[in-house]
Amino acid sequence: MTDDELKALVASLAVESKKTDEQMKRTDEQMKRTDEQMKRTDEQLKRTDEQMKRTDEKLERIGIRLGNVTNNQGDVAEEFFYNSLIKNTHLGNLQFDDITRNMEKHRGKIQEEYDLFLTNGNAIAVVEVKYKAHSNDLNKLERKINNFKKLFPIYKDYKLYGALASFFVNDDTKREALERGYFVLQREGDLIHSEHSQFLNVA
């Protein structure tokens, strides 16, 4: 190899080395930019997570408030019907002697909570209380009636009646309740208005 060829080779290697250095520099800059983008993305994700956490907390607070409102409405309705039935323990033509509130009973695999029930010497009335009644509340009432004598065998020889008490009952639910033979109790000012069909559901 001649001196000129050697010089040319060294020169070409120097040029290639310079190009490689420049490419590596650009690669480093790209990697740096990528790292910065990833850092920014991580920060955005962190901010998003914090926002979602705050949103979840707000939704939880709203849910608790709504749940409390619903519970409060139910408590108001129960208090009203309880106090009204203490003053007048009649359901239609039936006279009862006493009233029990919030009776919870567990026997074997059966567990129920009864909002109100009235008793006399030979009959019991189970009262399901709702602030706003729906048709599915009738199924709940029916289940509670069916389980009552299983939970309270002491009353096995008593006649058993059902009643739905609510501040608001739509026409369809009221009609269905009456067709099933239940009493329907509604608020009428400071009094209770009681309705029942001629057929009474007696268990």
Q: What is the pLDDT of residue 141?
A: 94
- CA distances (Å), 158 to each of 59, 121, 143, in order? 48, 8, 17
Under 8 Å between Cβ of 141 and 127: no
Check residue 122 and report its DSSP letter.
S
- CA distances (Å), 33 to each of 21, 24, 75, 139, 162, in order? 18, 14, 62, 65, 74
Under 8 Å between Cβ of 137 and 100: no
Check residue 121 and report its DSSP letter.
S
- Work out the angle at residue 131's Cα, subtended by the Cα atoms of residues 126 and 136, and round it to the nearest 5 degrees: 65
Domain borders along the chain are 81-195
Q: What is the pLDDT of residue 9?
A: 58
- Tokens 């190009």 correspond to 19
Q: Per this entry, what is the length of the chain?
A: 203
Query: How far apart (Å, rounded) are the C-alpha atoms in residues 187 and 181?
Result: 20
Check residue 89 and report its DSSP letter.
-
Q: What is the pLDDT of residue 199?
A: 45
Q: What is the pLDDT of residue 74?
A: 63
Q: Which of 108, 165, 164, 122 is nearest to 141 (CA)?
A: 164
Q: Of all helices (H) and strands (E), which one includes residue 186?
A: strand 183-188
Under 8 Å between Cβ of 145 and 164: no
**Burial 152-173, CB ≥16 within 10 A → b, else e:** beebeebebbbbbbbbebeeeb
Under 8 Å between Cβ of 120 and 96: yes
Residue ranges of the chain with pLDDT lower than 70? 1, 3-18, 21, 56, 59-74, 189-203
Q: Looking at this protein, which amino acid is placed at residue 109?
A: K
CATH of domain 81-195: 3.40.1350.10
